[in-house]
Structures are given as structure tokens and as C-alpha cells.
Amino acid sequence: MNTARIGTIAFFSRSLACQQRGDAIARSDSVPNAALIIPWYQDFTLGPPRYEAAQIRAQKKAGYDNGFQRWILWNPKSNYTLAALEPQS
């Protein structure tokens, strides 16, 4: 199997997941005291593609594009990619 294809599928799945979560935000807008939805984004490599700053920024962008202003990075070793983060203003 082509590794680029695997990467495309993985990214597409995450983008689709963010879109579906955005739909969940829209559905819960009218619900009083609805839970806040905060996505967790992958920040580690587990086979192709390698997860570096560009892949993490792409996940964050997909979230922002679908209404998520908050997020949490997930790395099981707690080794985070600082280059994927913006400096505090």
C-alpha cells in the first residue's frame, strides 16, 4: 500500500471528524448548559505519515475552520512539537 495514500486517508479522516464535531457544536447551540466539545489532536508519529509541525497545524486549522477555538494536543510520552504552536500574544 502506498504510504502517501495512507497519509491522505488519515488526514481526510481527521478533517471529516472535525467537520462532524462542528456539526455537533451547531446541534448543541440551542441546548442550555450543553457540554463544551474540545477536540484532542495527535502530536506523535505512529507509522506514516510522520507527524511534525505541519500535520499538527493542519489538524488545528481543520478545527478552527469548523468552529473549534480550543483544543488539546495528545502525545502519550508528553513530548510536544513546539514548532506547531503559536506564541502567546
pLDDT at 49 over 90: no
Separation between Cα atoms, residue 72 and residue 37, nearest integer Å: 11
Q: Tens digits of per-residue pLDDT, 53-87? A: 999 999 899 888 888 889 999 999 999 999 999 88
Q: Where are the domains of the chain?
A: 3-84
| Cβ-contact 68, 18 below 8 angstroms | yes
Give the per-residue pLDDT at 6: 42
Give the per-residue pLDDT at 32: 87
Q: Tens digits of per-residue pLDDT, 4-32? A: 444 444 444 555 566 666 677 777 778 88
Q: What is the DSSP string of 20-80?
A: HHHHHHHHHTTSTTPPPP--EEE-S-SSSSP--HHHHHHHHHHHHHTT----EEE-TT---
